[in-house]
Amino acid sequence: MAEINYILEMKNITKEFPGVKALKGVTLQIKPGEVHGLVGENGAGKSTLMKCLNGIYPQTSGDIYFNGKLVKNYNTRDAINIGISMIHQELSPIEHRSIMENIWLGREPLKAFGLVDHKKMFNQTKELLDRLELDVEPDTHMVELTVAKMQMVEIAKAISYDAKLIIMDEPTSALTNKEVEQLFKIIKRLKEEGKAIIYISHKLEEIFTICDRVTVLRDGEYIGTKDKKDLDVPTLIKMMVGRDIQDMYPKEACDIGEVLIEVENLSSQHAFQNVSFNVRKGEIFGIAGLVGSGRTELVETLFGLRNKSGGRVTIHGKEVDIKTPEDAIKAKMGLVTEDRRLNGIIPVLSVADNMIIANLSKYRKSFGLFNHSKAESDVNEYVENIRIVTPSIEQKIMNLSGGNQQKVLISRWLLTEPEILIMDEPTRGIDVGAKAEIYKLMGDIVKQGKCVIMVSSELPEVMGMSDRIMVMHGGKVSAILDNSKDLTQEEIISYATGQTVLEQS
Amino acid sequence: MSEKTKVLTEKANLAKDSKLRKLIRKYNIAIVLIFMVIIMSILRPNFLSPSNLFNVLTQSSIYGIMSLGLTLIIISKGIDLSAGSLVALSGIVAASLGQSATAATKYFPNLGELPVIVPILAALLVGGILGLINGSVIAYTAIPPFIATLGMTTIARGFTLMYTEGKPVSTLTSDFMAIGGKIGVLPVPVLIYGIMALITWILLNHTRFGKNVYAIGGNVHAAEVSGVNIKKNLVRIYAYAGIMYGVAALVFAGRVGSVHPGAATGYELTAIAATTIGGTSHAGGIGTVGGAIIGALILGVLRNGLTLLGVHAYWQQVVEGVIIIVAVVLDMRKNRKK
């Protein structure tokens, strides 16, 4: 039998928590020098498997072989020492310390009298950064770096530990397309050096671009491992969700009515300038562009979270002056924010309290008291109708999966019966099944004669759902395109990167 | 696995704790209190006598009432170090307007004896206005509540000393003293504490204001996006707390019969401790009125119990400190993310 030398073999791993089997006999085999995609919906067991691998907790049964040797009873520190490094989705650098201090934290090079050898630390860091072609000084503070650069620093840190296996958990969730390219370049270089990479992502295009082989998990079970060349998107989705998704983007044609919101020459200092567009009833209006192109700032300004420095907004033909989110809500707008954790969910509060917070005025009863029974019945209705998985409406929202949290946030706004629903990255970090449901919801919203303004970095999503697409670049509108059949991703990208600029009519 | 079973396992996963464990977790602080009462009643049978129990409640009432206001503040992720000073200032103003005609040094000699409603309104007004100032500074300058109220602590104390020229205000009217007295067997401070607790409970659980307080503490950015007026609510929170300090000041004056300018020094720490022991999280978004009452009672039982047991006052302080730390450790375990 031809022996393949795997750098990592996880054999028949099970993990049980009280009352639940999170992993049921999962196998994962990684070859040296390969990029191995690990995919599955949220709750499929990817992170549990990676936590077992990282020594965060031990598996209930099954064996882990690293470099051909059985490894067990190890902690995270041991994992790093034998050559396993993980780059987490949520980076947590020590923000007000420098790059070099972050990389060498806890193992700073020393000189006489146990003092830290800053010079050596600087040079070693410089070497690492050069290797990754990262153009920053080792003594730059982390807080000055973009998320992409912070991630590169994390990779540098992994290399500094001489990692043989690097796990990347959703590494591109906050990166621009250009930064993603840079990341991929680095991944290829690591690969050439013989390092193995486990690449966890919800973005299937990336999986197909960068991975050599893919392992799929579903509901804690091992579904299979395939070479990329034997795989296409429908097959992969079917493996992940266990059923066919005929149409990922269930956008139905619906009647486009009169202009609902008209934005003229809207500007906000340096963030964006002279943005003009309108959105009609029944329309899904996509806003594409790179991170930093001013998209999020634009919708924040529309919603009163940010001051405008010029321009006007009219809704139903009447000029509105929106200075606070309160004003926006009164003008029948809603905003599902980009960052669920930063300004979306209120973690320690219940599903119910999270859902009703934008709509409290509706539940007023006599003596200024709060109408609990009405609120409760509204919440129950949404939990049922859009299938939010939660043991009860009193469950703290932080215990729900990302997709279910997002559904609660969308419900929060649907409860206010908005006419204009703005959704900033509505499906970021949620699994394929929940994505499809959110797309369907968007379709339902516009069918009721409302409109949706959707900011998204995922081009397939923008192209799959939008009626028209506005592309932004460097704070300006570079094009507003009809989403016809012959529109290509390349075309949008060329506008987004500023290679083409259309004169605005 | 079918969609339905998947949903079920996910639900099972979320609800994996047994009911009993959940109950113990939810009420662990109350269980501590019951445990303390049982132990005390075994060691000192007279602990359970009605007069001693009322005694515990009366002794807990001043910082208990303060902790009601602090509960709102701490849920909103704030803190108020000026609580004790505000009790002193509103107490001293109230006392100066509530002196009996026979007082040796009368603050306003020409006013005669005023009806008790005057000092009552004065205390609520002074407390409320100073709280409103606290809230406005925090809301409109965005400086941390710790700093804003630290400043207010010395400002209020300074005004108190100025107002009294450093001398105590005593000999209050009998109507005023009745606030510290009894109706039948029921001590009035306990009655007031109960009423204030009920009002605060309604405010937190049955008004939109209450929902806003939790949301602001839970995630101020999310609350803002959801249209919650952060500034207005912060001002209201601190003003309400100020009114509670005013009420506490009246109880203080009524019980002691006089207010001296150094009164209630350090009370804010006891009140913060009571709130904290009762499970209100300094990380914001979590806390209940019931918890604050239980926290105040734990401190009350502890002080009373240790005194009955003959433990030296110095040791009492040490024990109290340990209890505060242990309570928070327990509470953090409860709120820990699974």
Task: Based on the fold, state whether residues A446 and A349 are members of the same structural domain.
Answer: no
Which residues on chain B are in Cβ contact (under 8 Å) with A361? 208
Quickly list H helices, chain B: 3-14, 19-26, 28-43, 50-75, 83-96, 117-141, 145-164, 174-177, 188-206, 208-218, 220-225, 230-256, 267-277, 289-308, 313-335
How many domains does chain A divide into? Answer: 3
CA pair distance A78, A71, nearest whole angstrom: 10
Question: Are A335 and B227 within 8 A, CB to CB?
Answer: no
What's residue A3's pLDDT? 59
Interface test with B, best of A15, A20, A357 (most B CBs within 10 A): A357
Distance from CA of B202 to the nearest CA of A (A): 8
CA pair distance A314, A264, nearest whole angstrom: 8
* The pair of three-digit structure tokens given for residue A293, joined into one six-digit string: 């192109």
Question: Are B226 and A353 within 8 A, CB to CB?
Answer: no
- Give the tens place of pLDDT for each residue, B5-37: 555 555 555 555 566 777 777 777 888 899 999
A369 at the B interface (CB within 8 A)?
yes
Instruction: Give the SS3 label for residue A296.
Output: helix
A488 in any annotated domain: yes
B10 at the A interface (CB within 8 A)?
yes
Interface test with B, best of A223, A240, A343, A423 (most B CBs within 10 A): A343
Which residues on chain B are in Cβ contact (under 8 Å) with A51? none
In this complex, the residue of A326, A342, A368 whose CB is nearest that of residue B229 is A326
In this complex, the residue of B11, B207, B218 whose CB is nearest that of residue A370 is B207
What's residue A247's pLDDT? 62
**What's A490's DSSP letter?**
H
Report how far apart the first and last C-alpha atoms of chain B are (Å, whole number).
Answer: 25
Distance from CA of B332 to the nearest CA of A (A): 13
- Which range of residues forms the domain containing residue A137? 8-241
Among A residues 265-284, those touching chain B with beta carbons less than 8 Å apart: none
CA pair distance B247, B253, nearest whole angstrom: 10
Task: Based on the fold, state whether residues A105 and A204 are members of the same structural domain.
Answer: yes
Which residues on chain B are in Cβ contact (under 8 Å) with A400? 14
Among A residues 452-491, those touching chain B with beta carbons less than 8 Å apart: none
What's residue A244's pLDDT? 55
Which residues on chain A are in Cβ contact (under 8 Å) with B222? 337, 343-346, 357
Task: Based on the fold, state whether residues A196 and A317 are members of the same structural domain.
Answer: no
Interface test with A, best of B7, B226, B336 (most A CBs within 10 A): B226
A338 in any annotated domain: no
Among A residues 14-73, those touching chain B with beta carbons less than 8 Å apart: 17-20, 43
CB pairs under 8 A between A and B: 110
What's residue A2's pLDDT? 46
Task: Based on the fold, state whether residues A228 and A274 are members of the same structural domain.
Answer: no
Question: Are B211 and A18 within 8 A, CB to CB?
Answer: no
B318 at the A interface (CB within 8 A)?
no
A397 in any annotated domain: yes
Task: Based on the fold, state whether residues A286 and A392 are members of the same structural domain.
Answer: no
Rounded to the nearest 10 degrees, how much is the dihedral formed by the CA atoms of A398, A402, A407, A413? Answer: 70
Question: Are B225 and A356 within 8 A, CB to CB?
Answer: no
Which residues on chain B are in Cβ contact (under 8 Å) with A362? none
CA pair distance A47, A198, nearest whole angstrom: 12
Task: Based on the fold, state whether residues A68 and A113 are members of the same structural domain.
Answer: yes
Give the start-to-end residue ranges of the domains of chain B: 59-268
Question: Are B338 and A347 within 8 A, CB to CB?
Answer: no
User: What's the average pLDDT block by block, 10 residues per block, for chain B (338 residues)?
Assistant: 50 56 75 91 90 93 97 97 97 94 82 91 98 98 96 96 92 94 94 98 94 95 94 97 98 94 94 93 93 95 91 90 84 60
Task: Based on the fold, state whether residues A273 and A144 are members of the same structural domain.
Answer: no
CA pair distance A3, A431, nearest whole angstrom: 36
Task: Based on the fold, state whether residues A205 and A121 are members of the same structural domain.
Answer: yes
Question: Are B16 and A17 within 8 A, CB to CB?
Answer: yes
* The pair of three-digit structure tokens given for residue B60, joined into one six-digit string: 């807990």
β-bridge mates for residue A54, sequence order: none
B229 at the A interface (CB within 8 A)?
yes
Q: What is the ipTM of this complex?
A: 0.83
A357 in any annotated domain: yes
Look at the block and give the residue holding tokens 């040296």.
A32
Instruction: Give the SS3 label for residue A5.
Output: coil
What's residue B198's pLDDT? 97
Any idea what the CATH number is for the domain that residue A79 is in?
A: 3.40.50.300
Last-in-domain residue among A397, A417, A437:
A417
Quickly list H helices, A248-360: 295-302, 325-330, 340-343, 351-356
Task: Based on the fold, state whether residues A411 and A425 are members of the same structural domain.
Answer: no
Task: Based on the fold, state whether residues A110 and A222 are members of the same structural domain.
Answer: yes
Phi, psi of B80 (to 5 degrees): -135, 105
Provide DSSP, A38-95. EE--TTSSHHHHHHHHTTSS--SEEEEEETTEEE-S--HHHHHHHTEEEE-SS----T
**What's A214's DSSP letter?**
E
What's residue A477's pLDDT? 94
A326 at the B interface (CB within 8 A)?
yes
- Report CA B135 to chain centroid distance, whole Å: 17
Provide DSSP, B36-84. HHHHHHHH-GGGGSHHHHHHHHHHHHHHHHHHHHHHHHHHTT---TTHH
Question: Are A328 and B227 within 8 A, CB to CB?
Answer: yes
Which residues on chain B are in Cβ contact (under 8 Å) with A342? 221
Total residues belonging to chain B: 338
A349 at the B interface (CB within 8 A)?
yes
- Closest of A67, A49, A44 to residue A59, by C-alpha: A49
Distance from CA of B138 to the nearest CA of A (A): 19
Which residues on chain A are in Cβ contact (under 8 Å) with B215? 346, 349, 353, 357
A250 in any annotated domain: no
A399 at the B interface (CB within 8 A)?
yes
Total residues belonging to chain A: 505
Mark the ranges of chain A whose per-residue pLDDT is less than 50: 1-2, 245, 503-505
A283 in any annotated domain: yes
* The pair of three-digit structure tokens given for residue A347, joined into one six-digit string: 């973690």
- Closest of A291, A265, A268 to residue A497, by C-alpha: A291
Quickly list H helices, A309-371: 325-330, 340-343, 351-356
CA pair distance B193, A239, nearest whole angstrom: 62
